[in-house]
Amino acid sequence: MFHWIKSFFKPSQPDPMKFLVVGLGNIGSEYDQTRHNIGFEVLDQWVKQHEASWEIGRLAQVAKFKFRGKQIICIKPTTYMNLSGKAVKHWMSAERIAPKNFLVITDDIAIDLGKLRIRGKGSAGGHNGLKDIQQQLGTDQYHRIRFGAKGDFPRGRQVEFVLGTWEEKEAIEVALQKDRACQAIESWIIKGLTGAMNEFSS
């Protein structure tokens, strides 16, 4: 299934005790609290829960900690959304991450707010961050948590919508869903993809 692993990980083999969790977003204060940065927000919350801190690393902000005996590496790419794959590819290789131990958290405007969708493969769905990850890794078979961000916006205004901030009426649902997303990450680590899908996918 993961044929690209042969060339990607020579000569070192993947470390089954390491997990890479990636939150997608754009760097810069002007992007704070926007729909497109929910991956950053979820990861910020999860890292804080584990009393870890962010450091500047190559192509990303990086946080590391132990969870259930596993080594967790979290990254927020500093490449901007369209080049997220560069950071992912670097850290996959540098930390010797097995494909099944790699997870992406991203927004999805095709899914209703209040819902999560966990998948092990699939198209980018027009999401530029996922497009670049798939291009860099050469596969669409990687695990992802899609955070529902669907809303009403005029035709042709998709970019403006995803780069806009959440509405006040959405705040409670966003907060609840961020909590569930953090729980879903842990379920994925403990129970694997199928277990997390059964527990959290709406």
Render pLDDT for 31-78 as a digit per residue (tens, 0 to 9): 999 999 999 999 999 999 999 999 999 999 999 999 999 999 999 999
Q: What confidence score (pLDDT) does residue 9 get?
A: 47
Closest CA to 48 of 58, 59, 60, 40: 40
Better-predicted residue by pLDDT, 162 or 78: 78
pLDDT interval class at 3 (50, 70, 90):
low
The residue annotated as part of the active site, out of 36, 90, 127, 143, is 36
Q: Report the CATH architecture of 15-200.
A: 3-Layer(aba) Sandwich (3.40)
Closest CA to 38 of 132, 155, 142, 178: 178
- Cα angle 126-1-98, degrees, rounded to a multiple of 5: 85
Secondary structure class of 53 (helix, strand, coil): coil
Closest CA to 58 of 36, 39, 73: 73
Is-catalytic flag, 143? no
Give domain limits for the chain: 15-200
The model's pTM: 0.91
100-128: per-residue pLDDT in tens?
999 999 999 889 998 999 999 999 988 99
Q: Would you say 34 and 165 are in contact if contact means Cβ atoms under 8 Å apart?
A: yes
User: What's the CA gap between 200 and 202, in Å, rounded?
Assistant: 6
